[in-house]
Chain A
């Protein structure tokens, strides 16, 4: 059964953006990620959270680096009134009314931080590790008359536990852990263990998980650690 979201869950600008992306098939494989997933969790799972960001992040699924153009997101998003610019790291971003839209792709193995050209959508995404965790474990919800995709809370939780320990900014780290603390009460054990069994995590990453779990007082055995 598809989850149904309240029509006015997101501000008008974000709602329009999500609808536009959905209409071109972006949410077939790619997902909304970051803090803007929290209102969805609040709506579906009653995880109360106050949103404190204007960054709207999307995890983009890259099937093949040479895939042919499916939709020109640069043109589509700028036609919605956003202006595009290139950040210091070479990543393309879109801005409108204070909202900042960014696309993030999964970074495989190497530590190459170069921005990634995604031909399928004509955007330049930021490659980051562990994004596949969010892409592979996601679900859909009906918003108004279109479908959006977002990570399941268990995948979002595990991802946040890991990235919290990689943050340079203490404020961002505490925000990540705060989101985890909110989600702790709604997590189901089976999906948690299933995700943990499905992904290969290094010793360092498992260390990050342990550190975050200890900070949150979250039982390690629920993650199979």
Chain B
């Protein structure tokens, strides 16, 4: 009987950790939305003897590739935000891995896992 009680306690802790990870993942995803997605692209324009550099933020929206011009003065800020976004992505990745691991341990059916994924 004691063994079963201990198992339940451990299972409860794992469930708690699973819930905690999912909450954090959602909060991190929400926060990441504040930063621009995509990558910076530079286009060179030649005019007379001069070369002009124009920066674009390239991202995918739906099926289309969208180029958004980034003014020179906003470039440092955009670069900083992109770095931030990368940090969040890295953190999100580690939580996704942990959630997957916990779901295997907790034997959560795949159907429920994908349903949860879509709802978050």
Please tell me if the beta carbons of A86 and B27 are within 8 angstroms of each other in the complex: yes
Interchain pairs with CB closer than 8 A, number: 47
Most buried by B among A52, A83, A175: A83
Task: A83-B91, A100-B20 given; name 16 further pairs at CB < 8 Å.
Answer: A52-B13, A81-B87, A83-B31, A83-B88, A84-B31, A85-B28, A87-B23, A88-B26, A93-B27, A95-B24, A95-B28, A96-B91, A171-B9, A171-B13, A172-B16, A174-B12
Encoded as 1 (CB less than 8 Å from any A CB) or 0, chain B from 1 to 28 comes to 0000000010011011000100110111
- Report if B61 contacts A (CB, 8 A): no
Q: Which residue on chain B has the smallest CB distance to residue A174? A: B9
Minimum CB–CB distance for B78 against chain A, Å: 18
In A49-83, the 8 Å CB interface with B consists of: 52, 55, 81, 83
Whether A175 contacts B13 in the complex (CB less than 8 A), given A83-B87, A83-B91, comes out as yes
What 1/0 flags go to B46-87 for Cβ under 8 Å of A? 000000000000000000000000000000000000001001
Shortest Cβ distance from B14 into A: residue: A171
Q: Whole-angstrom distance from the CB of A46 to the nearest CB of chain B? A: 24
Q: Does B116 contact A (CB under 8 A)?
A: no
Give the contacts of B87-101 with A (CB-CB under 8 A): 87-88, 91, 94-95, 98
What is the bound-complex CA distance between A95 and B87, given in angstroms?
Answer: 10
Name 6 interchain pairs, CB-CB below 8 A, sorted by A.
A52-B13, A84-B31, A85-B24, A86-B27, A171-B13, A174-B12
Which residues of B come within 8 Å of A, CB atoms?
A: 9, 12-13, 15-16, 20, 23-24, 26-28, 30-31, 84, 87-88, 91, 94-95, 98
Complex Cα distance A11/B74, Å? 39
Q: Is the interface of A mostly helix, strand, loop or mixed?
A: mixed
Contacts of B88 in A (CB 8 A): 83
Interface residue tally on A, bucketed by range: 20 to 34
Distance in angstroms from A64 CB to nearest chain B CB is 30
Ranked 3 nearest A-B pairs via Cβ:
A171-B12, A85-B31, A85-B27
